[in-house]
Amino acid sequence: MTTEPNEIRWCPEIGVYAIDRPPTSCAHKTEFCKLYCYNIPIYAYRGVRMRERDKRNEDYWQWLTGQRLYTQLSRKKKPVKRLRLCTRGEAFSTKEDVQKVVDLMRYSSSTLFWIPTRAWHHPKLKQMIEHIALNKHNARILASIDPSDDENQIQQLKDDGWSTVRIGANQETRYRCPKTFEHKTGHCATCTKGCFSDSRVDVQLKLHWGSAVNLPYKGWGTKRLF
């Protein structure tokens, strides 16, 4: 690249900055993901533009290092206190990605990195994340789960110290995300009880689209993205 790329975007819906990747990075997707990814309607309406953005996002991800991110964040008018990886795509697609994220967190130590991930489905990646990333002081890593996941595996995640975030099949014992249940736009910028809790937490999200559908996930005949 001849010019320095910068694909850090401001997301007013959640009130934080984000770095995204294309759906091809979702190496650990579930059957639920394939049927009900919240990106499906976005790609349906903005297909060509989204795929162009996907290429830029992935090029940026491959270029990114801890030092480069720190430099870009330092240029913002106000300190970037929270950063989402990723609103689209998977931050921990490979073991190299885990090492990259650790490098990002190390350089930008005053920024909280919010990372919902399906990488826990991969035993070696799960172990690697636990060993070098999960307990970093500025890591807010949550195992992303859904109705297609096994309840015994979910319990094991909790036993291993993972926070979890669930979409579909609402469970009343979980913390109900105010952004999705109460439509509090930008609430993620100040939330301390949900994904940004400094203690282990279990979060429940409301379905992003088609929430009137009241069927088991296998019955949802939505258009596949992958």
Identify the domain containing residue 151 by its residue range: 9-219
State the Cα–Cα distance between residues 219 and 58, nearest whole angstrom: 33
226 located within any domain: no
Token representation of residue 147: 């109705």
157 located within any domain: yes
Residue 154 confidence (pLDDT): 95
224 located within any domain: no
Residue 2 confidence (pLDDT): 57
pLDDT tens-digit profile, the chain (226 residues): 458 999 999 999 999 999 999 999 999 999 888 877 878 878 888 888 889 999 999 999 999 999 999 999 999 999 999 999 999 999 999 999 999 999 999 999 999 999 999 999 999 999 999 999 999 999 999 999 998 899 999 999 999 999 999 987 777 889 999 998 898 999 999 999 999 999 999 999 887 654 444 444 444 444 444 4
State the Cα–Cα distance between residues 159 and 157, nearest whole angstrom: 5
21 located within any domain: yes
Residue 206 confidence (pLDDT): 83
State the Cα–Cα distance between residues 14 and 184, nearest whole angstrom: 9
Asked if 95 and 119 touch (Cβ cutoff 8 Å), the reply is no
2 located within any domain: no
Q: Quote the number of domains for the chain.
A: 1
51 located within any domain: yes
